[in-house]
Amino acid sequence: MGHTCSILKVFRLTEKASFLSATKNCFTFEVDGSASKQQIMRTVWQTFGLRPVGVRTLVQKGKLKRHRSSRKSKPTMIRRPAVRKAFVLFRSGDKIEIL
């Protein structure tokens, strides 16, 4: 697991994530499911050059969706994959310039 690219997958740009980054200096990432909080902190520090104050993680379970392959067949239920999110908190003066 030590590779930087395999731990941080996506920087999440949602309405809630932009609100958190503007008010609480907390940035949201989609991370690998098996990464620990210490690995996430180390990877963010190596990637952006800023030392995080803390990391909170959660696993968002995949939704159950109805899928039809053709009009005559019965609908089957499929589950979307689970996503692990990491909320990384920085000091008040630190900023990550993504865009």
CATH number, domain of 32, equals 3.30.70.330
What would you measure as the largest C-alpha separation in the chain, in angstroms?
59
Confirm whether 99 is domain-assigned: no
Instruction: Give start and end residues of each alpha helix (H) in 1-99.
Output: 4-7, 15-23, 37-48
pTM of the model: 0.80
The encoded tokens of residue 70 equal 């053709």
Number of domains in the chain: 1
Confirm whether 97 is domain-assigned: no
State the Cα–Cα distance between residues 21 and 27, nearest whole angstrom. 5
Closest by CA to 28, choosing from 99, 89, 83, is: 89
Confirm whether 96 is domain-assigned: no
Do 36 and 56 contact (CB within 8 A), yes or no?
Answer: no
How confident is the prediction along the chain (99 residues), in pLDDT tens digits per residue?
556 668 999 888 889 988 988 899 999 999 999 999 999 999 999 999 999 999 999 999 999 998 877 777 778 889 999 999 999 999 988 888 765
Confirm whether 49 is domain-assigned: yes
State the Cα–Cα distance between residues 73 and 8, nearest whole angstrom. 40
Residues of the domain holding 36: 4-89
